[in-house]
A = this chain, B = another copy of it.
Amino acid sequence: MTPTLLTQTNGRNGRAMQLPFGEKRDGPLFNQSILSVKQFSRDDLEHIFAVADEMRMMVERVGSFDLLKGKVLAVLFYEPSTRTSSSFIAAIQRLGGSIIPINEVKYSSVAKGESLPDTIRTLEAYADVIVLRHPETGAAALAAKYARKPIINAGDGIGEHPTQALLDLFTILEERGKIDGATVTMLGDLKYGRTVHSLARLLSLYNVKLNSVSPELLQMPRELIDELNAHNIPQFETTSLDDVLSETDVLYVTRVQKERFANLDEYEAVKNSYVITPEILSRAKQNMVLMHPLPRVGEISEAVDGDPRAAYFRQVEYGMYVRMALLAMVLGKA
């Protein structure tokens, strides 16, 4: 492999910067930001999942390896999310890289009136890639506009959380062997659930059927249904899981939050119809995949955890592989 020595100026005194030997300069997603599920074609997804599957095999064999040795990931979380930040931290470390953890934004000088673009341009002086969690929709896109280095959106308010949707889809792939042909049933709060909307959008690139099961108050938004129709996705909407349980290949459960209901009686009436129990599983397909983005607070009974169909803790692990893949790809090392 012949080293490619590109030169570019850095700073005012015009010293040439040479790229390290073996640094790849191409490949899908190289030097790109990960901002939205809308940026991905089906080809992109297949490439990401192929890399993520390799990551899985490598971790199962050797635990960690030095693909990203020396790379530094800034973990910039303006609101706490232990689950997501831990996943990214594990991902970069299992690839031999290291982190700059910035969790306490509310106390820090970062918060003292500094603009997000300035914070980003400061951190990219230190890090090779930045993962950003921010309460405001569009924050990741704003960051990417100013950054010379890749930004990975780890959730921007009610906006997007693209790596969650990617890991959900990868879970279906790994558990079933393929995505095409699946009947996917989404259950719970389909109105406000950011993860549900993003996953549905990604699924629309595949040949699937989509069932939506929710209380009437929490149905899938009309725009999203129209968007899926435009992709010729067969859809079925109901308030009762029983209507679709027997045909379901993938059951994606989300939380129904009490706070969504103006009338608590209404909440009490529906909440138990959406709790997955061993009894419900006894009527489901033997190879159904039961998923949940976690944390769960009662939507899936603990009595179900031992069932081989319960995929939600494996889903967590698949998330690490997807994030390993994304980090390697945006850094040109996949």
A interface residues with partner B (beta carbon < 8 Å): 10-13, 15, 17-18, 20, 57, 60-65, 69-72, 74, 80-83, 86-87, 89-90, 93-94, 96, 98, 100-105, 107-110, 112-115, 117-118, 121-123, 125-128, 174-175, 177, 287, 289, 294-297, 302, 308, 311, 313-314, 316-317, 319-320
Distance (Å) between the CB of A126 and the closest chain B CB? 4
Q: For A114, what are the chain B residues with a Cβ–Cβ distance below 8 Å? A: 294-297
In the bound complex, what is the Cα–Cα distance between A110 and B295 (angstroms)? 8
In the bound complex, what is the Cα–Cα distance between A126 and B64 (angstroms)? 11
Q: In the complex the two chains form, is B94's CB within 8 Å of A72's CB?
A: yes
Q: In the complex the two chains form, is A295's CB within 8 Å of B112's CB?
A: yes
In the bound complex, what is the Cα–Cα distance between A313 and B149 (angstroms)? 14
Return the chain B residue nearest A65 by Cβ.
B70
In the bound complex, what is the Cα–Cα distance between A89 and B122 (angstroms)? 14
Q: In the complex the two chains form, is A128's CB within 8 Å of B63's CB?
A: yes
Q: For A104, what are the chain B residues with a Cβ–Cβ distance below 8 Å? A: 80, 82, 103-104
Give me 25 A-to-B residue pairs in the complex whose CB atoms sit less than 8 angstroms apart, sorted by A's number.
A10-B60, A11-B174, A11-B175, A12-B308, A13-B174, A13-B177, A18-B60, A20-B63, A70-B94, A72-B93, A80-B108, A82-B104, A83-B110, A86-B100, A86-B102, A93-B100, A98-B98, A104-B104, A112-B297, A114-B294, A114-B297, A118-B295, A121-B313, A125-B314, A125-B317
In the bound complex, what is the Cα–Cα distance between A328 and B65 (angstroms)? 19
Return the chain B residue nearest A297 by Cβ.
B113
Q: For A128, what are the chain B residues with a Cβ–Cβ distance below 8 Å? A: 63
A12-B174, A82-B108 given; 8 more Cβ-contact pairs under 8 Å: A13-B175, A20-B61, A63-B128, A72-B90, A82-B109, A98-B98, A104-B104, A122-B313
Q: In the complex the two chains form, is A108's CB within 8 Å of B122's CB?
A: no
Q: In the complex the two chains form, is B125's CB within 8 Å of A316's CB?
A: yes
Return the chain B residue nearest A309 by Cβ.
B12
In the bound complex, what is the Cα–Cα distance between A89 and B12 (angstroms)? 26
Distance (Å) between the CB of A193 and the closest chain B CB? 15
In the bound complex, what is the Cα–Cα distance between A293 and B69 (angstroms)? 31
Q: For A296, what are the chain B residues with a Cβ–Cβ distance below 8 Å? A: 114, 118
Q: In the complex the two chains form, is B83's CB within 8 Å of A122's CB?
A: yes
Distance (Å) between the CB of A74 and the closest chain B CB? 7
Q: In the complex the two chains form, is B60's CB within 8 Å of A64's CB?
A: no
Q: A125-B313, A295-B113, A295-B114 are in contact. Are A18 and B61 (CB under 8 A)?
A: yes
Return the chain B residue nearest A110 by Cβ.
B82
Q: In the complex the two chains form, is B93's CB within 8 Å of A320's CB?
A: no
Q: For A118, what are the chain B residues with a Cβ–Cβ distance below 8 Å? A: 294-296
